[in-house]
Structure 1
Amino acid sequence: MTVMAERAVQSSQMSVEEFERIAAFAAKETDDAVRFEFINGRIGVKKVADGDHNNSDTDQRDRQEKPVAYGAAGIPLYMLIDRDACTVTLYGDPDAGVGYRSSRKEPFGARLLLPEPLGIELDTEKLKQYVD
């Protein structure tokens, strides 16, 4: 990609500040019936989850896009609770270039140490009751 084309792509993406203003306004107008997500410079809108996360859009966002975007943004930890596989994956060690440099996957029922800034041990045994 040429430098000019790259700048055009970057300038077409929304800033975090713009997103936060839009999301705050929409939350008031919809009584929190929808949720806004900001991933890779794009806004995503979806209805508040009713407990069923089994569509392909959510799969793509939660398992592929979010770990890269959240890690690149410097969010210290990202936890994915996968009810289909009955696992919990904890992503850590954020890196602006790649997302997260480490991940740890455990089955429901395992104890998972959440490092600082949380610094707690999570007992995932109770997650078993939320699986069909």
Structure 2
Amino acid sequence: MTPSTTDRPQMSVEEFEELERHAPETVRLEFINGKVMVKPVPDGNHREICMWLLRQCMQQRPELGLYPEGGLKTETYRKGRARADGVLAPTGSFKGHGEWSDTSAVLMAVEVTSFDSDTNRRDRVEKPDGYAAAGIPVYLLIDRDDCSVTVFTDPEDGRYRKLENHRFGAVVQLPAPVDIALETEALKEFVE
């Protein structure tokens, strides 16, 4: 049996962080399951969805911040590095942190799918596992491919035990500790 990449990662976390620091601005790198991954630069609709979510979070929970492009230490023993499209946490939670933050204050990680060949593996498989392993209570996936919002909750043993999928247009209740109701009708205008 061949060992998995997590048994033998491509490089150490320290080597990855050095590589990421020197990557050009047009490239965003992540280190998931022991592999370096390239995350596409967001398009205009992707950015508009992030702003839509930011406004909803600010209106309903002004004491929280939705931090864009949050660098998180993920996976078992913090051996992964993921750059979430959004990270919801109490305002001030990342003061004094470097590029990659511990997830102890994070209430929710957010990803918006991109139109690239790695979206399925990255956003629907590997990131939920990494965020669950890091103990992030809620993972919100806004999926432009099938016009849905999926809410992952109850992280346990590196997996989310519960997920709910809603079509764009539904009112989606994000559970505690997030406690925000998302009116998703507006997301229909950001699908290509």
How does the TM-score come out when normalised to structure 1? 0.74
Q: Displacement of 1:21 after TM fit? A: 5.2
The one of 116, 121, 128 aligned to 1:67: 128
Q: Is the 8 A contact 1:113 1:121 kept in 2?
A: yes
The one of 33, 37, 40 aligned to 2:33: 40
Q: Is the 8 A contact 1:74 1:96 kept in 2?
A: no
Q: Distance in 2 between matches of 1:81 and 1:121?
A: 14
* SS at structure 2 position matched to 1:30: coil
Aligned residues: 123
- The answer to whether residue 37 in structure 2 is matched with residue 49 in structure 1 is no
Structure 2: any 5+ residue segments left out of the alignment?
A: 47-112
Q: Distance in 2 between matches of 1:76 and 1:69?
A: 12
Larger Rg: 1
Q: Displacement of 1:35 after TM fit? A: 1.3
Structure 2 match to 1:106: 166
- The answer to whether residue 162 in structure 2 is matched with residue 115 in structure 1 is no
Of all paired residues, the percent bearing the same amino acid is: 51
Structure 1 match to 2:187: 127
Greater share of residues in helix = 1
Coordinate RMSD, CA, aligned = 2.8
Q: Once the two structures are superposed, what CA deviation does each residue of 1:22-59 show, in whole Å capped at 9, x if it has no partner?
A: 43x13xx523x211222112221233122582333122
